Chains A and B, each alone.
Chain A
Amino acid sequence: MTNEFLLSVESVDTFIGQFHILENVSVNVAKGSITVLLGRNGAGKTTTLKTVIGLTPPRSGRVIFDGEEIQGKRAFNIANLGIGYVPENRAIFRALTVLENLKLAERKKGDLDRHADMIFELFPDLERLSKLKGNQLSGGQQQMLAVARALVPDNKLLLIDEPSEGLAPILIQQMMEVIRKLKEKTTILLVEQNFIMASQLAERYVIIDDGRSVHRGLMSDLVLNEELIHQYLGASIQAPTRTSEAE
């Protein structure tokens, strides 16, 4: 049944140039839940998110969001249906102030005003720093801004790519809290290498390996299945927290 899912990625194939990145990948995300994409570096998790938002459109297969086929549409059209994208590596706009970064994400006039209280409650730092340029923020603050930006318009679905990457342990805790709170009002498709964080947040998982979706199920089952974890995730659970990298 498609109806119970807010997002269904149905056996998509995605190419970047002549490279076959995704092969027959299927991911379903139920409304009001968090689904996490797991897998090694370069397995195709980020490309899966980009395929949904339309930055790397699939060559075949279907992407159904909220009952509508969206594959092949331009990225801005897809985003405007109510999908927020938080890319990896904190791709905020460095030349814009924090406030401008948030303003830019408005789809209707007044989006930011309506959600400002909620956003600044989740990220009190950003209110204080609102006049600073993006390139004056620390790595953690940039990551917070990247997430905050996706909260400005009314999004039904958030695609969040590696929110914990390069964050200090204390900030990872904070980020987890934020995502947990977000779950109450929205649906999230998460990419997360930090297995501890992923296992505490997500209800369901999909393992992507070498461009294929090889395994899926309930997170509560996966944590008990050490063999599976070892086979597909390898070393990535060995290092649950990483320290902040120097810029």
Chain B
Amino acid sequence: MKLMMIFSFVFFSPQSFGLEKQLIEEYKKIRSTIEDKKFAMSDNYYFLFGSVTVEDYEDDIEFIAEANAYENLDVYAFNLICWPDYLDTETKVKIFYRYLEVNPLFDFNKNITVLKKEKKPNDLINITYVFDRENNFINFPNTEQLGFINSCQ
């Protein structure tokens, strides 16, 4: 009987968690879009999303996925810009990366943390990374900073 009581307690008691409550709450708000948009920003955190196809576990999966997360962030930043229609994609990309050479997205970044790692079918692994916005800042370039008139407004 005591055994049963103990395990009833163990399995159904309220729980506390290792993650900060604030992070959990903010993650809940963005989790439905992160896989689609590959980046999300909440009040206190940046969320990056990277994927890797596992060909070989000798490779550093987290490192490769992190590199992919930064690429995804670049794409997200690229898509924020209202590009003039007369530019072809190749030119847009050149302009964009030339700008980033001088004005990187991150002034500084530290404490990137793996928030969630998910194995998907077909050997795909998705990793969600989190940065706190207190110690990190992303400078998303805007259309005017790239020297164009924002015709999307």
B is bound to A: no
Give B residues with C-beta under 8 Å from A: none
